[in-house]
Amino acid sequence: MTKNTNIDLMIVNAAFDLATKIGWVHMSITDIAKKANLSEATVCTRYPTKALLLNEFMRHIDDLVLAQNAPFDEFDLERDRIFEILMLRFEAMQPYKEALRQINRDLPKEPINIIANGPSAALSMTKMLAAANLTANGLLGITHAHGLLVVWLATARVWLQDDTPDMTQTMAALDRNLRRGEKFLKILPRLTLTSRAQPIS
């Protein structure tokens, strides 16, 4: 982990800790700097808005998922590949769950955060498709990424309320949502199955 990456993670962790304690809406860049034991200038230079912190958090989760060995083989169905990758994503997010619950409650009060992070969320789904060894270019790729984002968001609502130790409710919701999404995607050309995941920076 590089020094810059370490600082970014310190800032994200400080922000999420504060989100749990005082709420996303009420915390300021000054609060985050104090919590992270960094200068306000350092934090503000990297993240002049809290929306950018959410973007960095998603990138961090992307990296955690992509760093793991794919839990499937070449004979697994496309849906099964995506299921495994998205469950890895939920597992990576588990330590941040309480903060994300609070952020989810607060975000409607700051709609700019939702708008600003729309493209980042779609990019994350493109990375997840690549991690599942599935690729598509151009408009088709964008369509599949946004379709997967709909599945992800619908399942995330269940995950936020799922306190089962093995995420049983989340797995059931993800399987259900993927099957629903599959019906729509059948009208589109199939994704290309690659020999191995291609990293996306």
- Whether residue 128 is contained in a domain is answered as yes
Give per-residue pLDDT as tens, 140-159: 667 788 888 889 999 999 99
74 and 21 both lie in a single domain: no
State the pTM of this model.
0.84
20 and 107 both lie in a single domain: no
Q: Tokens 């990297």 sit at which residue?
A: 46
**What are the Cα distances from residue 141, in Å, to 31, 64, 121?**
40, 23, 14
Kind and range of the H or E run holding 143: helix 138-161
Q: How many structural domains are present in the chain?
A: 2
30 and 73 both lie in a single domain: no
69 and 146 both lie in a single domain: yes
21 and 72 both lie in a single domain: no
pLDDT for residue 171 = 97
CATH of the domain at 36: 1.10.10
44 and 58 both lie in a single domain: no
Give per-residue pLDDT as tens, 20-75: 999 999 999 999 999 999 999 999 999 998 889 999 999 999 999 999 987 777 77
- Whether residue 143 is contained in a domain is answered as yes
| CA–centroid distance for 53 within its chain | 13
Q: Is the pLDDT of residue 164 over 70?
A: yes
75 and 156 both lie in a single domain: yes
The CA distance from 87 to 80, in Å, is 11
* Structural domain containing residue 19: 1-48
CATH of the domain at 149: 1.10.357
pLDDT for residue 193 = 47
- Whether residue 198 is contained in a domain is answered as no
75 and 114 both lie in a single domain: yes
94 and 43 both lie in a single domain: no
114 and 18 both lie in a single domain: no
